[in-house]
Amino acid sequence: MNTKIAIQGILGSFHHQVVQEYFDQVVEIEECLSFEELVDSLMSGKSDQAVMAIENSIAGPIIPNYALIDKNNLHIIGEHYLSIHQNLMALKGQKMEDILEVHSHPMALLQCMDFLKKYPNVKLVEDKDTAETARRIQQNQLKGIAAIASQTASEMYDLEILAPEIQTIKNNMTRFVIIKKENSFLKENEINRASLKFELDHKRGSLAAVLNVMSDCKINLTKIQSLPKIETPWKYSFFVDVTFEDYNDYAKAKSLLEIMAEYFKVLGEYKNTKP
């Protein structure tokens, strides 16, 4: 029986592309039109693992996804970086001057804003998924509407690319994480990256003390993001990603953080694959 992988989006999406690149074995795809639906698929046992975008080199971190992983006690077991190439596409025979609206996922629109600003009269419409937008244009023969999606989506749904590579920064990468309901334990010598969550006392110097511990333990902080605790005004949770060369250094830092933090949680320990 093939492993079933949940993705946000449909076949032809960037999440689908990650599955094709990351997994060696043949897998089944579970299409989900939202990250909440993706998590539900995992929690219910409908899928075995899931691919979830977590940050983009242009648009930054997708904080709600960290919160989804945390809230549902899911485990990050791996990561994959994908070079994102955004293309403007429409029904064959359409030209740029025919386009009245551009539909795509809000992250894709954000990544292409410099190009889109050249067409102030074109309406931008946020949608759930890049590839699903492309498919709908073809299925419903929607004239005057373009999608922003991958070249794979244009080929799968027989659309013509009106403008290739329209992302603002050509070296545009998205980091995806592989998540599971249960943890997958790697050997310590294979682990050199971790995603953590902690909460601190609301007093001066508490965050600085934590950062000093990481530095002293030779831990490289690659990202830190705060998220307000809705139930406790002016209190914040911190989501951090760290890398390290020696697992023993990380284990030492982890033991100190467990003491220093009011709350401490490991979201995942896995292999760093940053190119």
pLDDT (tens digit, 9 = 90+) per residue, 109-152? 999 999 999 999 999 999 989 999 999 999 999 999 999 999 99
The average pLDDT across 61-86 equals 95
* pLDDT at residue 249 in the model: 98
Q: H or E segment at 6?
A: strand 3-8
Give the tens place of pLDDT for each residue, 196-230.
Answer: 999 998 778 899 999 999 999 999 999 999 888 87
Q: What are phi and psi of 67, to 5 degrees?
A: -65, -40
For residue 2, the model assigns a pLDDT of: 87
Strand partners, 81: 175
CA angle 67, 73, 74 (to 5 degrees): 85
Q: What is the pLDDT of residue 60?
A: 84
For the residues of 20-69, what is the DSSP string, one character each?
HHH-SS-EEEEEESSHHHHHHHHHTTS-SEEEEEEEETTTEE-HHHHHHH
Which parts of the chain fold into alpha helices (H)?
14-22, 35-43, 63-71, 106-111, 113-116, 130-139, 151-156, 206-216, 247-260
pLDDT band at 61 (very low <50, low <70, confident <90, very high): confident
Residues 6+ apart with CB under 8 A from 78: 22, 177, 178, 270, 271, 273
Rounded CA-CA distance 198/266 in Å is 9
Sorting pLDDT into bands at 50, 70 and 90, what band is 63?
confident
Q: Where does the pLDDT of residue 155 fall: very low under 50, low under 70, confident under 90, or very high at 90 and above? A: very high
Assess contact for 130 and 148: CB atoms under 8 A: yes
Q: Is the pTM value of this prediction over 0.85?
A: yes
Angle between helices 63-71 and 35-43 (to 10 degrees): 20
- What pLDDT is stored for residue 184 in this prediction? 85
Least confident of 82-91, 193-202, 230-239: 230-239
Is 90 exceeded by the pLDDT of residue 55?
yes
pLDDT score recorded for residue 186: 92
Reference 100, options 72, 125, 66; nearest CA is 125
Residue 77: CB atoms within 10 A of its CB come to: 19
Q: Give the pLDDT confidence score for residue 201 in this predicted structure.
A: 83
pLDDT band, residue 236 (cuts 50/70/90): confident
Q: How far is it, in rounded angstroms, from Cα 150 to Cα 211?
A: 39
